[in-house]
Structure 1
Amino acid sequence: MEFGHIRRSEHLPARIAAQIARDITEGRMRPGEKLPTEHFLAKALGVSRSVVREAIAQLRNEGLVETRQGVGAFVTEPHARPIRIEQDDLANRQSFRDLFQLRVPLEIEAAGLAALHHTADDLARIDDALTSMSGAEKWTAEGIVADLAFHRAVAAATGNEYFSVFLGFIAERISLAIDAARAVAVLEEIVEVTIEEHIVVRDAIASRDPKRAREAMRMHILGAARRLDLTLEAY
């Protein structure tokens, strides 16, 4: 198994995850085999450890690896792996739109449940992701990593682990959409609008008002779709 530097024009976590996934599905990494450390992968691929961590989170959400506290990440047995959607499949616009449509009910419901059930730690994780999104790295790939972390933190705040599993999987597959949206708009405008939408979602969750949180998330998802010229159905 060899790792080469990832081109900066690509969405880094998704591309790194795809590279490792190919090594797994094509047999270059065997079930039970331990992945290289975050430090090794970051150095070999020429990226930050946070990007590697995001890629491993994607692989975990897809069931290709399992992580063990303090030990590392290991390739799972094939029979333990859930359904898999290849990134190339989403090159078809209708398939991409259909997957994005699936975000609508799941993300909206997650926001409402997060408003009801979040803990102080949950809100702190949401705030950490929002801080990263709003900081100096918001114009870079690290800002995209933080965007995904925000949505994972909201899913975790529902108190229902299945939201984390399904939304984590979908968000990672949709991740290239963020790059696409940035590519067709004035970057300063789209980033600031996106951050503002996330702030509204965060504040609604913090207020423990599920209706407000659901509406804030609905507006964000539909706004994200419009920036990709996608028409979604939402009621």
Structure 2
Amino acid sequence: MVVADFNQIKRSEHLPARIAAQIGREISEGRIAPGDKLPTEHILSKTFGVSRSVVREAIAHLRNEGLVETRQGVGAFATDLERRQSIRIEQEDLTDRASFRRLFQLRLPLEIEAAGLAAMHHGPADLAKLDESMARMSGTEKWTDEGILADLVFHRQIAAATQNEYFLTVLGFVAERIHLAINAARAAAVLEEIVEVTIAEHTAIRDAIAARDPNGARLAMRAHLVGAASRIGLDLEVF
């Protein structure tokens, strides 16, 4: 297991993305070699000075970029070069408003279709995981970064519920970069109002999926994404 010279992350930064960027540089520049095991969640959380759930989300970033693979009960390992994805969107690129809007526009049709497919193909375990995410989003953690992470897990679980691994790979990659939108929306509005609206939108999506109503799930997801975009001042093209 490699222990790299990571720096603690400032609290004002987008924690999972910044942590993923630091670890990713260690991998890309060869200081963590292909096949090397990353430090445990416990060690990384102590090193960066963040919670283990934040580290877990950072590892998910890296996994969706193809930089690491995770093995159940064993840990995370740097991947071989030939297995890494060629598509990369650096978080810093999304500080440009036009680029961020284009990424959000890409998310729209993918997530709408994923919601419809999840309504058709989900199993009991998928619904249980959606409910678990909803409980975290609407519980005592809803005002914190943990609530934001639960939001991302909710969307990732919808992708998984399609039973099409490509949705999980692509949407996992895109949604994690849209994480900035959630932070921006919370910063630009009254927190209590934005959180309650978001929870209501997610509840509508969850209920339509549970009812195996693909059209209802698609409409609920569309309303959520258009609403989320409007809350950060993005005007999407919707047909």
TM over 0.5: yes
In structure 1, the partner of 2:49 is: 46
Deviates more, 1:135-144 or 1:209-218: 135-144
Supply the distance in 1 between the matched residues of 2:233 and 2:217 (Cα, whole angstroms): 24
In structure 2, the partner of 1:35 is: 38
Q: Which residue among 158, 168, 172 is the counterpart of 2:172? A: 168
TM-score, structure 1 normalization? 0.97
Supply the distance in 2 between the matched residues of 1:14 and 1:68 (Cα, whole angstroms): 21
Alignment: residue pair count? 235
Q: Work out the percentage of aligned pairs sharing the same amino acid.
A: 70
In structure 2, the partner of 1:145 is: 149
Supply the distance in 2 between the matched residues of 1:176 and 1:169 (Cα, whole angstroms): 13
TM-score, structure 2 normalization? 0.95
In structure 2, the partner of 1:88 is: 92
Matched to 2:8, the amino acid is: H
Q: Measure how far apart 1:97 and its partner are.
A: 0.5
In structure 2, the partner of 1:10 is: 13
CA-to-aligned-CA distance 1:59-111 (integer Å, 9 cap, x gap): 10110101112211111122211111111111111111101001111000000
CA-to-aligned-CA distance 1:144-187 (integer Å, 9 cap, x gap): 11000000011101111111000000011111111111111111
Query: Per the alignment, in what secondary structure is the counterpart of residue 130 of structure 1?
Result: helix
Deviates more, 1:16-25 or 1:213-222: 16-25
CA-to-aligned-CA distance 1:28-72 (integer Å, 9 cap, x gap): 211111100011111212222111111111110110101112211
In structure 2, the partner of 1:73 is: 76
In structure 1, the partner of 2:227 is: 223
Q: Is the 8 A contact 1:11 1:141 kept in 2?
A: no
Q: Measure how far apart 1:143 and its partner are.
A: 0.9
The unaligned stretches of length 5 or more in structure 2 are none
Q: Measure how far apart 1:3 and its partner are.
A: 2.5
Q: Measure how far apart 1:132 and its partner are.
A: 0.5
Query: Per the alignment, in what secondary structure is the counterpart of residue 70 of structure 2?
Result: strand
Summarize the alignment of residues 57-136 of structure 1 with structure 2, pairs less than 5 Å apart.
Answer: 57-82=60-85, 83-136=87-140
Aligned-pair Cα RMSD in Å: 1.0
The unaligned stretches of length 5 or more in structure 1 are none
CA-to-aligned-CA distance 1:198-221 (integer Å, 9 cap, x gap): 011000100100000000000000
Supply the distance in 1 between the matched residues of 2:71 and 2:101 (Cα, whole angstroms): 35
In structure 2, the partner of 1:203 is: 207
Query: Per the alignment, in what secondary structure is the counterpart of residue 28 of structure 1?
Result: coil
Q: Which residue among 25, 46, 70 is the counterpart of 1:22? A: 25
